[in-house]
Amino acid sequence: MREVCIIGCGMTKFGELWTKSFRDIFVEAGLKAIDDAGVDHIDSMYVGTMTSGLFVGQEHVGALMADYLGVAPIPALRVESACCSGGMAIHQGILDIASGNSDIVLVGGVEKMNDGADATYALSTAADQEYEVYQGITFPGLYALIAQAHMHKYGTTRQQLAQVSVKNHYNGSMNPNAQFQRKVTLEQVMNATLVADPLTILDCSPVSDGGACLILAPLEIARKLNKPIIKIIASEAATDALALHQRKDITTLNAVKVSAEKAYKKAGMKPSDIDVAEVHDCFTIAELCIMEELGFCEKGKSGKFVEDGNTALDGKIPVNTSGGLKSKGHPVGATGAAQAIEIVEQLRGSAGKRQIKNAKIGLAQNMGGSGASSVVHILKKLND
Amino acid sequence: MPSPRYHREIPQRYRLEAEKCKKCGKILFPPRLICPECGSKNFEKVILPENGKIITFTIIRVAPQQFEAEVPYAIAIVELENGVKITTQVVDCKPEDLEIGNSVKLVFRKIQEEGKTGIICYGYKAVLV
């Protein structure tokens, strides 16, 4: 298996992109990534999108994007794993290069959520249609069920949940690509409109348009480029029961746990080796649970861990320096790719005001549904 | 939804029909073709108990279109007496009065309707006991 590096990346601003179409959003990100990498061709591409059929009535996305990116007739595949689609597109691209099948691969994701579709319904298709959605559950509802169980079992507080949103909005206020470049206070989060108790609108990631792409290449090609070498030292995925109620413990995201354990093993690392992490904070409770599954803190203690500032920009392990899904925005198919881009920026030292000093190893964790799929990437900056 | 899709789930939604793995005893709701615990493909039909406890719940205040008229409504994960967990609305109560640990019983109710000419969809909901 060949070793794989990230040699370029590009993304659109995330937000309500009324003047840009589904295809233009992806192509804009793709062209930026190709330009950043400085490559003159790509061999194949993988496009993550969760439910473009429901959002804009468009399937057959691989071919469409290859056409509009001007790279047809290369092979192009759409990858779908709900909100984990972007991360899984990266995973597929890595396998393509590692196997020796392709050299230069474009991976990424896109979602156009603001074109008039019922976003609550479209997103709910990532849950069990017959035994969850049929009963009237929503995605904020599913994560609210996890939050209530976590609060009941471990004493996690409403304020600790809100702290995740406050932190991520603070980070996002320094990200020019973020949908919400503004800070929020604990009081604002806790007193905002309830969506599904105990979660308010400021516990929830927004409905967003956006695209993000990366260019992957084998290590020997990356070495010839005159820029920092960002190597992917682990890319591991896992699954769990689709329906939340089918899981043994409602507060455990086992797919995250398994994908992280496999990734640490592959990289020969432990949680304390990670300098910076981007995680799937689709709802504030998700970031708390993920802290536990990634091994950043003990099971049940994530509330206090975040409250004590351990995951802030100047904390022990800065988490979601980009603003996370909460503040940067969550165009579901693009999210996994955008997370990897933030880690690349941090390792390159080009993250501006959000820069973590001397970041050498970063982790990106992308998740689908209420946690039924997860992929973890660990990136390392090689010595020049 | 297409009527065959609705029809296929009627044994579960109307009558709480489940399957018990003949090899390891795990109860599967809804039934599956293979047991996720032991890989067996041999099952016997069992009926779920109607009584259980709320292990977590929330109050939905922003709903998909077909449930918009019902907000706010409570949804819980209920663990039935045989250990099977299901997602269900909890009705005939003030949602704010619910607590984790409450005892509930499943009853047969209308769940949703598909506009003026579509299927009226039924199934189970929980009430406090």
**Strand residue runs (E) in B1-129:** 17-21, 27-28, 43-47, 51-60, 73-80, 85-91, 103-113, 120-128
A58 has pLDDT over 90: yes
**Residue A213 annotated to the active site:** no
Residues 29-88 of A with CB under 8 A from B: none
pLDDT bucket at A361, cuts 50 / 70 / 90:
very high
Residue A50's SS3 state is coil
Query: How far is Cα B55 from Cα A154, in angstroms, rounded to an integer?
Result: 14
pLDDT bucket at A221, cuts 50 / 70 / 90:
very high
B49 has pLDDT over 70: yes
Using an 8 Å CB-CB cutoff, list chain B residues near A199: 58
Q: Tell me the β-bridge partners of A380.
A: A231, A361
Task: Give the model confidence (pLDDT) of A248-263 as tens digits.
Answer: 999 999 999 999 999 9
Contact B100 A197 (CB under 8 A): no
Mean pLDDT of the A202-228 span = 97
Mean pLDDT of the A369-373 span = 98
How distant is the Cα of A155 from the closest Cα of chain B, in angstroms? 13
Mean pLDDT of the B53-81 span = 96
B49-129 CATH choice from 3.40.50.150, 2.130.10.10, 1.10.10.10, 2.40.50.840: 2.40.50.840
Using left for φ > 0, alpha for ψ between -120 and 50, and beta otherwise, residue A330 falls in beta
Please give the pLDDT value at position A23. Answer: 98
Please give the pLDDT value at position B117. Answer: 86
The rounded mean pLDDT for chain A is 97
How distant is the Cα of A296 from the closest Cα of chain B, in angstroms? 26
Using an 8 Å CB-CB cutoff, list chain B residues near A137: 60, 75, 87
Task: Give the model confidence (pLDDT) of B27-42 as tens digits.
Answer: 999 999 999 999 999 9
Mean pLDDT of the A39-67 span = 98
B66 has pLDDT over 90: no
Using an 8 Å CB-CB cutoff, list chain A residues near B89: 135-136
Query: How far is Cα A25 from Cα A22, in angstroms, rounded to an integer?
Result: 5
Of all residues in chain A, what percent carry a pLDDT higher than 70?
100
Nearest in space to A278 (alpha carbons), one of A328, A232, A231, A314: A328
Task: Give the model confidence (pLDDT) of B95-123 as tens digits.
Answer: 989 999 999 999 999 999 988 888 999 99
Please give the pLDDT value at position B2. Answer: 72
Contact B123 A141 (CB under 8 A): no
Q: Catalytic one among A91, A150, A330, A377? A: A330
Please give the pLDDT value at position A299. Answer: 98
CA dihedral B83, B129, A138, A85 (to 10 degrees): -10
* Closest residue in chain A to residue B9, using alpha carbons only: A130
Mean pLDDT of the A85-97 span = 98
CB A50 within 8 A of CB A110: no
Please give the pLDDT value at position B65. Answer: 86
Q: Tell me the β-bridge partners of A237.
A: A375
Q: Which domains does chain A have, with CATH numbers?
A: 4-118+207-223 (3.40.47.10), 138-202+233-381 (3.40.47.10)
Please give the pLDDT value at position A137. Answer: 96
A384 has pLDDT over 80: no
**Residue A150 annotated to the active site:** no
Complex confidence, ipTM = 0.97
pLDDT bucket at B3, cuts 50 / 70 / 90:
confident
Task: Give the model confidence (pLDDT) of A305-336 as tens digits.
Answer: 999 999 999 999 999 999 999 999 999 999 99
pLDDT bucket at B64, cuts 50 / 70 / 90:
confident
Residue A264: DSSP 8-state: H
Residue B42's SS3 state is coil
